[in-house]
Amino acid sequence: MARYLRTSDLARAVGVHVNTVRMYEQWGLIPPVERSPTGYRRFTAFHLDCLRLARLVYGRVYPGRPIRRSGVGIIQRAVSGDLGGALELAYRHQAVVRAERAQADAAAALLERWVQGTAAQSAGHSLRIGDTARLLGVTVDVLRNWERNGLLGVPRDPANGYRLYGPEEIGRARVIRMLVQTGYSLMAVLRMLSDLDGGQKQDLRAALDTPRPDEDAFMASDRWLTTLSEQETCAGEIIALLEELIHKQGEEDD
């Protein structure tokens, strides 16, 4: 006779509240659950395995849409019973995380080269905001937002008051754009630029990745390098778990 598990058994096994187990059931992150004649849920060891997998994906801080979507795809494939397909997706997921991390590292490297004065900047003449936006591939509103948030200071033409982006401003805007596009939050970029403007040219990666105690917002992108490192570790854990489940399934089939 099959041994069934209760909701509280699953919750205790992975360290969550029983309502979290029920929520995951509603979201389809664990397979449909059979009910007893008296209405109690009858979970199996496979439900627990899927819950363990779901906790690896959902149990950490939100890592951004591409990584989360990739992780959810793994869960859905496993819940359907296709553990081999889930493992294939897990290796792809690992590649997604590593690609995100490589982009974040490349942006930080560009920052370091720019600080050293070796990053490409622009032509020697100044541009107005519309021309600068087209050059950088962003909108005028984005440039204004960076200025409003203190990331970028732009001098004005004394004759007409128009913003004039010179080589220094354009070089700084290039770095901001790349950092933001590769996942760093505006808070993280502002934190780093504040240190830089204060004369601190060392450990700028650490500044990007280390929120200050007085910062109100705290998101994964406020410590993006650490988040991606944790997600890469998690991707390895997902692969290991799926390989364990496939091995166990093979033993049960023998």
pLDDT tens per residue across span 96-114? 999 999 999 999 998 988 8
**CATH number for the domain that contains residue 80:** 1.10.1660
Number of structural domains (the chain) is 2
Residue 95 neighbours by CB under 8 Å, 6+ apart: none
Q: What whole-number distance in Å separates Cα of residue 210 and Cα of residue 223?
A: 6
**CATH number for the domain that contains residue 146:** 1.10.1660.10
Q: Look at residue 121 and tell me whether its pLDDT is greater than 60.
A: no
pLDDT digits (tens, 9 = 90+) for 62-95: 898 999 999 999 999 999 999 999 999 999 999 9
Q: What whole-number distance in Å separates Cα of residue 254 and Cα of residue 251?
A: 5
Domain assignment of residue 84, given as a range: 7-101+226-253
1 in a structural domain? no
Same domain? For 161 and 239 the reply is no
Same domain? For 108 and 72 the reply is no
Same domain? For 182 and 214 the reply is yes
| Weakest mean pLDDT among 43-57, 177-191, 206-220 | 206-220
Same domain? For 112 and 203 the reply is yes
Task: Write down the pTM of the prediction.
Answer: 0.85
2 in a structural domain? no
